[in-house]
Chain A
């Protein structure tokens, strides 16, 4: 029977300092009983001699100095696992909230996990078809990748994420597939949107959900994604499933991290976020991947809303440095009623080169992709110029680029929420759009592909563009 300590000396924000303890360990989990008998959970952040600093997940409301009883449990935070975890819904601390009984675990794992040996990793190279042209065509997602959605408040990131979860598949394969959904501080409505969507498509029974909603304890959010990722590791590497992890919203997570850091009076880094935020985020994002000689994989789609759409904000910035690319949602496109409002220029999938090409998508994919990017970038540049100077100042060649940029947004990027385009369709749209250029402008495409594919679309006439206007 573990000792209970009543020697709490200080309570500050989410932190508790307890004196005269024996044998406390770093990162150990503690149970805290308040005077009114309610139980809270916490974790040791620091031990210094006989004093321990504890973060309380459920917040310190109701705790006092005399009557608070603290018990050290001698283990880290763990999650119980078994195949029956699929289809279940938990709160942010891993307690079932779907009315069913607790999981009878076959295995317990520490939620912090261990770093994956880089040597054991297998390079992600299997193309995932999401059915969304802006992703498949230009910022291709592959299995084992971590590709965040950089969004802003009011943008439809939830819809995009749900569409990916609904449509994602690897061509020509039927494999065990699961979704782990982790909510951190999002509204009930948003969480419910995902739940309803999963229910309708029958994905719910292949899902595991961890919900820490906006009115749930803030500090609990530190642990929530780690529960989710530990479950994902179990499903992927023990049960051999392909797991898609959706983490939303990382901004709330980072704010919880900042709260603890401030309470500990640590030297703040940029905008008050702690200096170790990069390392902290990395220990989660890096849990995506594949392992050699193992069947499963973990693909992560974290969502973060950038305050003021500012991508240099520390949360977006540090995330971008760890993840393998990013998908930017653009307010501008959204206001033009273009769904999905993915701004392809700053978006990037770092792993796409291994996932595209002959035998994976199509031989011409890489060249078409480069050409589309280059042409669209130039089109946008010229379009901005036209705003300043007026269209009359543009050369004939420039005008074609402007027309291309408009068409590209309307025909390539824009699609409906339930439209599932195959990669062939996506590339064909790309070729059709490129066919308005003289062949000499298509510098990024190998001549043999121009010969093979472009001829199919030269019938594309200027008349089509009228309809788009």
Chain B
């Protein structure tokens, strides 16, 4: 398969220039030197091709051979992806460790899908059936929660002339043969797909359902739709990673693809060690059974980091094509953009803003554009791929080109705020600066799920928070005493919304996930208290009296009420009503 062709003429970090590669294609995979360093052609000029190499190039020099493969950079798609941990070019890190030890040595290679492992294949079509691209021909129980559907690879259409019985096979065994117009094609459990090309769908649709995350500030205020896109920018230390981890743990997607792109090794380890222990709240099974991890930490080769987001999203699309809802997290896309910048600099391209290549915005857009709610090929069933990208702007500066390029594309913006993080208000998503363009599209769902009132209560809460910001300005100038009782009540209610509702402790069992029902009940408590308090103020009840009601402690602890005991909210509501009744009566009776 490998032919000796081409020779290295230049080495500068991860960029290698080789000459005389016959029929060199853009994005073709090549191997550099006898050390088998894996790379990809990213520029062709005359007989010279520039190669970005996914491994350390120390010790490589002019004159060494370059071997071409003729293939584009592709990933292997088939059973065994779930629960795996890959680097940016889909090398299985657990297998690499077994073979090569604790450190990743150069030229290390293992196939992405285990070649020995046997899967129980069960056919769902029989001989003689006509199939086309995207049709399901069989299934494999990949994990106890994920049924892996074997779909007809792209470009194959015709009659099934043979298909095996239900039995155990490895990924490389042929399970079916299809007679197409031209020839007979073999179908195995796995297929390959070039990462830089989006997998085709039947039809794209606008999103209508929310991705429920159990995070109150997100679900209630700034929801993301299934099939939507969101971005989380924030300075370091503002809790970006915790937000991403929380979403991958708790969002109600069927499968989560988590890309650790140029981030900390220990954080990936945290995911690796925690996910197998964590239970999916819906199925009760370990989260690892629905997760694919891509880890290209910051000290791993920079070119592989560039590829990692594409590797991840291609895997996401593959499962989407089986009809699943996928949530993809990329942490962080800034590191990905920086990898692009580094390669661009080495190619001596004319730089755009801040040294980033001029094509930064279009690359970012085309990545997010692979998200969506679609009708899949074959069955035409509905499936979604949601993409949530973290951005790490230097100094938290939102005018950073990567943030700006991202904001032009995504529909949800969760703005993380360092001041909130310092005050240990987590998740530190700023309620005034964030937005979600899905709110209107999702309102039907929320009305159905949480009640007609919800939309109104939510708006009221947002209004209170906005008013609080104005009042705070005023307090800063003239002091709190200058505020009317009504305005002070608004300040207190806003504080209650912030502390008792928006703040959520990811490390506390009762608080880390909140169902929509409970979110609604919690918000309603605050709403009710505010409403009755305003009413009481009208009836001349003193504000101090209202604020010193001990029931407020119960409101603040409502977040700790277990999901199974939501009835407790009824009792608190009743108590609030009766307390205010008494207060008002006391005043009326003098």
Contact = CB atoms under 8 A, between A and B. Distances in A.
Interface stretch (B219-227, B446-454, B475-483): B475-483
B417 to A, nearest CB: 13
Interface in B42-68: 56-63
A39 interface: no
B503 to A, nearest CB: 9
Interface residues of B, number: 79
B358 to A, nearest CB: 12
Nearest to B91: A117
A49 B10 contact: yes
B470 interface: no
Contacts of B424: 370, 373-374, 377, 444
A264 B21 CA distance: 29
A269 B61 contact: no
B563 interface: no
Given A353-B507, A378-B423, 12 more contacts: A24-B61, A112-B56, A115-B297, A118-B268, A124-B266, A269-B341, A269-B354, A279-B338, A285-B299, A286-B298, A370-B505, A444-B424
27 contacts: A24-B62, A25-B60, A26-B59, A27-B59, A28-B59, A46-B13, A115-B297, A117-B103, A118-B93, A119-B85, A119-B97, A122-B269, A237-B102, A269-B341, A275-B342, A278-B338, A286-B298, A312-B397, A320-B237, A322-B298, A350-B241, A366-B507, A373-B422, A373-B424, A377-B424, A389-B476, A440-B550
B57 A324 contact: no
A51 B302 CA distance: 25
A402 interface: no
B191 interface: no
A394 B475 CA distance: 10
A345 B59 contact: no
Given A118-B93, A267-B355, A314 B394 contact: yes
Residue from B59, B269, B556 with most neighbouring chain A CB atoms (10 Å): B269
Contacts of A283: 298-299
A444 B500 CA distance: 11
- List the 5 shortest-distance A-B pairs measured between CB atoms, nearest first: A312-B395, A282-B298, A286-B299, A27-B58, A393-B479
Interface in A292-332: 294, 311-312, 314, 317-318, 320-322, 324-326
B408 to A, nearest CB: 22
Interface in B234-274: 235-237, 241, 260, 262, 264-270, 272-273
B380 interface: no
A231 interface: no
A169 B450 CA distance: 52
Contact of B272 (A27, A119, A314, A393): A119
Nearest to B419: A377
B303 to A, nearest CB: 10
Interface in A235-293: 237, 266-270, 275-276, 278-279, 282-283, 285-287, 289, 291
Given A47-B62, A117-B102, A118-B93, A145 B266 contact: yes
A420 to B, nearest CB: 27
Interface in A47-67: 47-50
A348 interface: yes
Given A278-B298, A314-B394, A373-B423, A266 B62 contact: no
B341 A275 contact: yes
A25 B59 contact: yes
Contacts of A348: 237, 421
Nearest to A376: B423
Interface string B335-346: 100110110010
Nearest to B268: A118
B396 interface: yes
Contact of A123 (B12, B237, B273, B302): B273
A123 B507 contact: no
A291 B102 contact: yes
Given A115-B299, A282-B298, A373-B423, A26 B269 contact: no
Interface residues of A, number: 81
Nearest to B395: A312
Interface in A61-110: 76, 110
A269 B556 CA distance: 47
B532 interface: no
B94 A23 contact: no
B392 interface: yes
B526 to A, nearest CB: 14
Contacts of A378: 423
Contacts of B475: 385
A144 to B, nearest CB: 7
B423 A377 contact: yes
Contact of A119 (B94, B241, B480): B94
A35 interface: no
Contact of B104 (A112, A115, A266, A267): A115
Nearest to B296: A118
Given A237-B102, A279-B338, A115 B60 contact: no
A112 to B, nearest CB: 7
B300 interface: yes
Interface in B380-399: 392, 394-397
B295 interface: yes
B394 A440 contact: no
Interface string B1-40: 0000000011111000100000000000000000000000
Nearest to A277: B338
Contact of A49 (B9, B57, B105): B9
B227 to A, nearest CB: 30
A459 interface: no
A377 B422 contact: yes
B369 interface: no
